[in-house]
């Protein structure tokens, strides 16, 4: 090999290495931005929505009724820009990419989205509600004073619409 060919070969090997690295890199997904849900996260969520009503929905990738509910919530979010929605995935943090993609596919990528990030899901469920045993979907309707009503099972659009309307009506009263 000549002295002239050696730098070219080194450069060619460098380009091949870069191409190989780039081709095996994980693609960037256009999914939801997720917050890590820990034992202190519920207090942070409540503080973030101080004085405002919000709907907190717990869901999981392996819950078929949850997927239908995400469709409903995505549609409602499009129609009601002021709908304060908090989504908490009870899946492991290692499933963040999947969770993010599912939320994006239901038009919920810009929602306030969280994912369980501690090894003890039971502990996090207890922090959310000591009387909740993990059935899903599970939702909590918070009023502006943060009194809450918990619901197990799929939500209905008319219930959410009535809940949203009750705050608009209350705000319109003198």
**pLDDT of res. 94:** 95
**pLDDT of res. 81:** 85
| Structural domain of 158 | 30-172
> Is residue 158 packed enough to be buried (19+ CB in 10 Å), middle (13-18) or exposed (0-12)?
exposed
One digit per residue, pLDDT tens: the chain, 174 residues?
555 555 555 554 444 443 333 332 233 334 568 999 999 999 999 999 999 999 999 999 999 999 999 999 999 999 998 899 999 999 999 999 999 999 999 999 999 999 999 989 999 999 999 999 899 999 999 999 999 999 999 999 999 999 999 987 655 555
Q: Are 163 and 82 in contact (CB under 8 A)?
A: no
Asked if residue 126 belongs to a domain, the reply is yes
Instruction: Taking the CA atoms of 104, 108, 114 and 115 in sequence, report the sign of the dihedral they define.
Output: negative
Q: Are 80 and 55 in contact (CB under 8 A)?
A: no
> Is residue 24 packed enough to be buried (19+ CB in 10 Å), middle (13-18) or exposed (0-12)?
exposed
What region does 48 belong to: left with phi over 0, alpha with psi -120 to 50, or beta? alpha
Q: How many angstroms separate the CA atoms of 5 and 11, rounded? A: 10
Asked if residue 85 belongs to a domain, the reply is yes
Q: Are 127 and 39 in contact (CB under 8 A)?
A: yes
Asked if residue 40 belongs to a domain, the reply is yes
Asked if residue 90 belongs to a domain, the reply is yes
Asked if residue 88 belongs to a domain, the reply is yes
Asked if residue 50 belongs to a domain, the reply is yes
The H-assigned helical ranges of 25-131 are: 41-48, 64-79, 96-105, 121-128
Tell me, what CATH number does 80's domain have? 3.40.30.10
Whole-model pTM over 0.85: no
Q: How many domains does the chain have?
A: 1
Asked if residue 65 belongs to a domain, the reply is yes
Q: In the numeric block, which tokens belong to residue 80?
A: 């009601």
Asked if residue 20 belongs to a domain, the reply is no
């Amino acid at each position: 090999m000549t002295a002239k060919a050696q730098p070219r070969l080194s450069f060619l090997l460098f380009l091949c290495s870069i191409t190989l690295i780039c081709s095996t890199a994980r693609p960037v997904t256009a999914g939801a931005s997720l917050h890590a849900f820990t034992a202190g996260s519920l207090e942070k969520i409540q503080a973030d929505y101080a004085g405002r009503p919000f709907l907190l929905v717990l869901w999981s990738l392996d819950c078929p009724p949850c997927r239908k509910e995400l469709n409903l919530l995505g549609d409602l979010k499009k129609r009601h820009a002021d709908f304060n929605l908090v989504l908490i995935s009870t899946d492991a943090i290692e499933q963040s990419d999947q969770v993010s993609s599912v939320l994006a596919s239901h038009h919920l990528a810009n929602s306030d989205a969280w994912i369980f990030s501690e090894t003890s899901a039971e502990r996090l469920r207890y922090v959310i509600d000591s009387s909740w045993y993990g059935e899903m979907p599970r939702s909590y309707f918070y009023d502006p004073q943060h009194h809450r009503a918990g619901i197990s099972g799929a939500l209905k659009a008319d219930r959410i619409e009535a809940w949203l309307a009750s705050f608009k009506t209350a705000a319109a009263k003198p």
